[in-house]
Amino acid sequence: MPKRREFSPEYKAKLVIEVLREEATMSEIASRENVSLNQLSNWKREFMENSSRAFSRSRDEKSITRQVEELQEQEKNYQAKVGQLTLENDFLKSVYKKLSGHDWETRTSGKK
């Protein structure tokens, strides 16, 4: 059984645009490109039904974009908090060393 041919979205769009420009009839384009007239008609219909997507984003896309932006902001806040806590920890270690005369890492690792 022969394998079905698969056409890229770019190829389909190229043919549909050619049909819309009326550079040749649909029959001529289908014949020249060795695709069925019915298939070319389906591509044209699908293209026309989805053409508004080129100019507007769906609610789902907007929602996902908003969620990504919120997560990026949250990550930025977490990174800032980690930086702040690291500075505070380093400061406290240095104060401990000055007051006790011992290095914090040496003291906590059991080494003397």
Say how many residues make up the chain: 112
Task: Specify whether the backbone of 2 is left (phi greater than 0), alpha (psi in -120 to 50) or beta.
Answer: beta
Query: Residue 103 above 70 pLDDT?
Result: yes
User: Averaged over 19-31, what is the pLDDT?
Assistant: 93
Look at residue 112 in the predicted model and tell me its pLDDT.
Answer: 47
100: tokens are 């006790």
User: Averaged over 1-16, what is the pLDDT?
Assistant: 89
Look at residue 23 in the predicted model and tell me its pLDDT.
Answer: 84
Q: DSSP 3-state assignment of 4? A: coil
Measure the CA–CA gap between 83 and 100, rounded to whole angstroms: 26
- Residue 40 burial (C-beta neighbours within 10 Å; 0-12, 13-18, 19+): buried
94: tokens are 């240095």
Query: Residue 29 above 70 pLDDT?
Result: yes
Contact 40, 30 (CB under 8 A): yes
Query: Residue 56 above 80 pLDDT?
Result: no
User: Averaged over 84-93, what is the pLDDT?
Assistant: 95
> For the chain, where are the alpha helices, taking DSSP H only?
9-21, 26-33, 37-50, 59-100, 104-109
